[in-house]
Structure 1
Amino acid sequence: MRTLRGFDRRTGWLCAALLFAALIGLPLQPAHAAAELSISNPDGAALRALVIGIDDYQHVRKLKGAVADANDIVSSLRTMGVSDVVELTNAQADRASVLREISSLVERTKNNDLVFLSIAGHGTQEPERIKGSEPDGMENVFLLPEFATTPSGSVERILGSEFNHFIRQFELRGARVIFVADTCHGGGMVRDIDPRAAEMSFRQVPRYTLLVDELKPVSSSDDPKSELDLDHTAFIAAVDRHTKAPEVRIPGIDGLRGALSYAVARAVEGNADINHDGKVTLKELFSNVRQVVYQLSDQRQNIVTVSSPAQMPETEVAFELTRGVVLIQGTAARAASGQVATVASAEKQNPAPPAVTAKSQTAPTSAAATAPAAPSAALPPFRLTTPIRLAALDGKMGYFTSVKPQDASVQAVQPTDNPDLIWDPVSHDVIAWGDVVAYGVDVGGLTTVVNRTAAIRELKRMATQSPQLMRIWPDDRQQRSGQTVEVELSDVGSRAVLLFNVSGDGTIQMLYPVGSDAAMARSANLRLPLRVGEPFGAEQIVAVTSQQRMVDLETVLMQLNRRRASGQVIKSLERYLPADARIASIGFFSVP
């Protein structure tokens, strides 16, 4: 029996009966190469794009990251060699301009072209106009900057059926389409927001009633009844029809962004080519983007992917990647690629013993104990250049004069100034982006929480660059004492696995391999059962896998076991990650 601080681990292989999707990890585009990477159409024809981003709404709540999303995707496409790219942002994206540009794009499109459509902004739902076109009778709608519930303002929106109309026109010209919708249409949340947290930004407005609707939809007799009636189109949506898409913080980037747009931009740059064959299949694209969004959103977003019935995602090539010469190999290239991993649990013949609390456990021994020791020289301290923004719930900044973290500087801000951490001086709870990450932390303990926040930010960056599939079942809601949840991992067969936890106060806990655990995973898929217990707050589960046993990294993790050493873990990962490593970084959030 091993304990994941706040959870009890019960060993045993449990093959997943069903996976939400057969996801696989994706590699980071290498930073060291002798020639630039470019994207191409597998059919040899042109690649064209229309990208829309709207923050500056005039009559509904403004957004903060949709224009940056559009700029990012456009920059990625152009950097990757796509020349026919049209971008519309804010006031440029009125209805007349959107219809004009998409109609012009249809006219330019030729047989076998690949058309990329992307929109980031507010979404909502309205009763369907085509009876039976939607499973719940509601149609997705995309709002434009001047939308209002007045007669004239009602025109400034695009119906989902209108996008389908234009997609059909692309298909009739022999083109394939990838449509990315970084909006949301439902009103729920995967996990509740702590009421003390700073206000979050969502890409959804409440449903409304139009007393006078002057919109005259674009349509024709051969329009598809639904997305499933299209033939050569792949859809990627930020969330399902029942949840909201938050604007998130991306490690190393100022301001807020859409996790889906950010993931798509990185996939376009080459991160989605998991097997390095220069061909990104729809399965690879969907899998990469899904895992990146899941991790960047702290498990609040689960994207939706839909491909036409005639398409086979496993073999259908979304786009190809070309490079003039072979990549430069070596230490620098491996360090730059910061790749990602997965986790496993040893196969046991006997049932797992009853769960126990963390305090009743002794430090486990590991197979790594017989491996060669890691270098004894102390690693230089890990340190982020961007400060951790710390606020007190009552707005007073004097509390933090004694907070002197080693891994990042601290900037005291007001709770309304987009803080990374909010400390409640009454309960001493620490809140990060709507979740309580630690309960009952006095001022003296904030240093370790700040250090941990800096480390988690870096872990997210590394896991985003080359993610390994890892999911939480049955869901990603706050977990309560005594509940059992499972971490599910896939595509780990015949790979070496390391699994550890970074608790809310920065304590490192080695989870696998421990004791007699096999160093190499014995199955492609597994579920790791965990039982919720004290202390409550945030737990960051990190998995690293490689085709070879990571002896040095394994030894260092055992040396750091049960120590508050989150910064040292980051430094060790930077030093010892093998070139083919994959990383997954998933948070648990528990409450008493």
Structure 2
Amino acid sequence: MPICLRFLMLGLILAVPGLAQAANSFALVIGINEYKAVPSLDGARNDAEDIATALSRKGTTRIISLMDREATKQNIVNAWTTLLNDAREGDTIFVTYAGHGAQIKQIVQGDENDGLDEFWVLPGFDPKNLKETWKESVFDNELHQWFTEAGTRGIKVVFVSDSCHAGGMNRAVRGKLRYVEFGDSRVLGELLAMVSGSAGSSAVAEPESRTPANVTMLAATSEALPVPEVVIEGRSRGALSWAFARAVEGKADRNADGTVTRIELEDYVLATVRMRSESLQTPVFTPVAARDANEALFGVTQMPEMASSSVRPAEKTGRRPMVRARELGFDPLLPLTVKGTDVMPEDIEKGAHTYEWDATTGLFRSPNGDVVAEKVSAFTVNDIVSKFILLDFLKAIASQNPGKIIVSPEKQIYLASEHIKFEAIRGDYKNMLVFNLANTGEIQFLDMVLNGEPQFKTPLKEVQVVEPFGSDHLVVISSDESLEAIGAILQRGVTPKELLAALSQRIDGTDSSIAILPLYTRVY
């Protein structure tokens, strides 16, 4: 499947309870930006390099990386064969792919629930020269066969494929979409005929859509939705690859026991991808539920920054220590391009992927191209800038311990007059603050719990979309640290810059959970 392979949608991980301590892990990491005959990508190689680095630090026994033109079909087959032969019963093979995907009508009738077969588009694939290049692809049927063979040897597979097939976005996105659309039925017909006659893509013993028992998968998003590249920490990335790399580093290991369980991984990835993609993606796990409440996925080692003297341990909580935001790269400056005025807002810098303020139109756009604020003037722009700096701080903390907000309906964009219901999840922390960072830069205080006791008789749990439009961000802070003083300044009114200073003093580096839910709105 595009990069969403149903049976192998973005996969992540061993699927059996308990990790054999003596087991080894291997990895095939593929990242393709440069294509011969289809549009290039910007962030796929960044994804692959990041994942390879994270796996290396984790102690993966052997990693084979294939980037751009190295990612030929023969090299991929050879690499998989090598790793499969090196692995032994109880070992794990990670297979990660970042690049284009596409679909054609299913090769074997009844093989796919949606009637479509998905495949990786490799650099040498040329839809205008299928006779010579069609084999530069990897179909989900082939992957299914490979992974099933691994299962017969008692080898677990971790499949991470950050891409998908689908067209059409309902939000403006500057980043590229990781799919190739074949609108010419003749091209599809030729490809189908060639693939159908290939011994390498013969029917498998069971439907491809049935996940092999040795594989657990996570899709970047459902197959019906596109997977855009987004800007994370100033670089083009796939949100799921970024979240997976952080999980491998150990950020998903909330109880610091050296093992990431399926439940820990799911909680971490779902919240992190939605936050980092600004609600463009919601990952999908397969199987839907963990096979066991304590299902172990993979082991992790302590991250280097944990040894830093600035770490403030979460004593007696059973949770891993938290690192200060600056240790994770937070800088209280916003990369911003200004158009139509000589007025320069405070706390901005230049950068490769910047926010954009056009004083002529009053529009403020994110690096991804979304309109995040309207009617922004020289009098209001500083609060917008401060809002996104505050969000960068909150995201740095959330990357270590993301919280949860339940929203209904769940959409990429909400239109004028729609009602949005939400529920903040406090977890097992004593204290909680809930507030909205509005698209105007205003901070709207919604709820507070102190020492387990709700402070508002009727906390707001539903909002209606009204102008001005742009992006709001619901924020939930949960902690055993005292939050009463911060609640007090929220009640009397506070700017984003003032709130950043208060939060930096109170919760930075502490055992605190942050949930961020981006809500994008427009008139129609």
Common fold: TM-score over 0.5: yes
**Aligned equivalent of 1:332:** 311
Q: 2:287 aligns with which of 307, 326, 330?
A: 307
Trace 1:291-370 onto structure 2 (pairs within 5 A).
291-307=271-287, 312-322=291-301, 332-333=311-312, 337=322
Partner of 1:351: none
Superposed CA offset, 1:270-314 (max 9, x none): 1111233332112221221121111000000011111399x6153
SS in 2 for 1:290: helix
> 2:225: which partner in 1?
243
Separation in 1 of the partners of 2:27 and 2:77? Answer: 14
| Structure 1 gap segments, 5+ residues each | 1-39, 341-382, 393-398
Residue 83 (structure 2) aligns with: 105
Structure 2 CA distance for partners of 1:228 and 1:490, relative to 1, 3 Å: farther
Query: 1:274·1:284 contact (CA, 8 Å) conserved in 2?
Result: yes
From 334, 351, 355, the counterpart of 1:420: 355
Distance 1:390 1:70 in 2: 29
In the alignment, which of 335, 343, 352 is matched to residue 402 of structure 1?
Answer: 343
Contact map agreement 1:271 1:465 (CA 8 A) in 2: yes
Please, which runs of 5 or more residues in structure 2 have no aligned partner? Answer: 1-17, 315-320
1:501 aligns with 2:418: no
Shift of the 530–282 alpha-carbon distance from structure 1 to 2, 3 Å rule, reads same
Q: What letter is aligned with 1:249?
A: V
Matches of 1:478 and 1:212 in 2, distance apart? 38
Q: Kindly report which structure 2 residues correspond to 1:99-178, keeping only aligned pairs within 5 A, or say none.
A: 99-149=77-127, 150=129, 151-178=131-158
Q: Distance in 2 between matches of 1:337 and 1:292?
A: 16
Distance 1:446 1:323 in 2: 41
Task: For 2:497, give the aligned amino acid.
Answer: G
Deviates more, 1:495-504 or 1:233-242: 495-504
Residue 205 (1) aligns with residue 180 (2): yes
**Alignment pair present for 1:554 and 2:487:** yes
Q: 1:19 — aligned with what? A: none
Question: Is 1:540 aligned with 2:440?
Answer: no
User: Matched residues in 1 for 2:467 and 2:442: separation?
Assistant: 14
CA RMSD, Structure 1 to Structure 2 (Å): 3.0
Name 1:587's counterpart in structure 2: 518
Once the two structures are superposed, what CA deviation does each residue of 1:75-97 show, in whole Å capped at 9, x if it has no partner? 01111211311111101101111
Q: 1:494 to 1:584 in 2, by over 3 A?
A: closer
Name 2:216's counterpart in structure 1: 234
Aligned residues: 480
Per-residue deviation, residues 129-157 of structure 1 (Å, max 9, x unmatched): 12212211011211101111112121111
How many Å separate the matches in 2 of 1:475 and 1:308? Answer: 18
Separation (CA, whole Å) in 2 of partners of 1:528 and 1:276: 33
2:336 is equivalent to residue 389 of structure 1: yes
Does the aligned pair in 2 maintain the 1:51–1:85 contact within 8 Å?
yes
Q: Is the CA contact (8 Å cut-off) linking 2:232 and 2:276 kept in structure 1?
A: yes
Give, in whole Å, the separation in 2 of the partners of 1:313 and 1:420: 44
Offset at 1:67? Answer: 0.7
Instruction: Give, in angstroms, the shift of residue 41 of structure 1.
Output: 4.9
How far is 1:315 from its partner?
2.2
1:574 matched to which residue of 2?
504
Question: What SS class does the counterpart of residue 72 from structure 1 fall into?
Answer: helix
Change (3 A) 1:547 1:324: closer
User: Would you say the 8 A contact 2:438–2:472 is kept in 1?
Assistant: yes
Do the aligned partners of 1:112 and 1:174 also contact (CA within 8 Å) in 2? yes
* AA of the residue aligned to 2:158: I
Letter aligned with residue 257 of structure 2 = D
261-270 or 441-450, larger mean C-alpha shift: 441-450
Distance in 1 (CA, whole Å) between partners of 2:382 and 2:87 is 57
Q: Which amino acid counterpart does residue 142 of structure 1 have in structure 2? A: W
Deviation, structure 1 residue 389: 2.4
Instruction: Work out the CA distance in 2 between the residues paired with 1:183 and 1:324.
Output: 28
SS of residue in 2 equivalent to 1:465: coil
SS of structure 2 residue aligned to 1:574: helix
User: Distance in 1 between the 2:273 and 2:250 partners?
Assistant: 16
Contact kept? 1:41, 1:47, Cα under 8 Å: no
CA spacing shift, 1:521–1:307, aligned 2, 3 Å: farther
**CA shift for structure 1 position 317:** 0.5
Runs (4+) off by over 6 Å: 327-331
Deviations 1:149-199 (A, max 9, x none): 11212111100111111111111110111111101112243xx224xxx73
Contact 1:402 1:444 (C-alpha < 8 Å) held by counterparts? no
From 407, 410, 419, the equivalent of 1:472 is 407
Indicate the residue corresponding to 2:318 in structure 1: none
Q: Does 1:258 align with 2:238?
A: yes
Separation (CA, whole Å) in 2 of partners of 1:221 and 1:440: 58
> Which residue number corresponds to residue 287 of structure 1?
267
TM-score (norm 2): 0.83
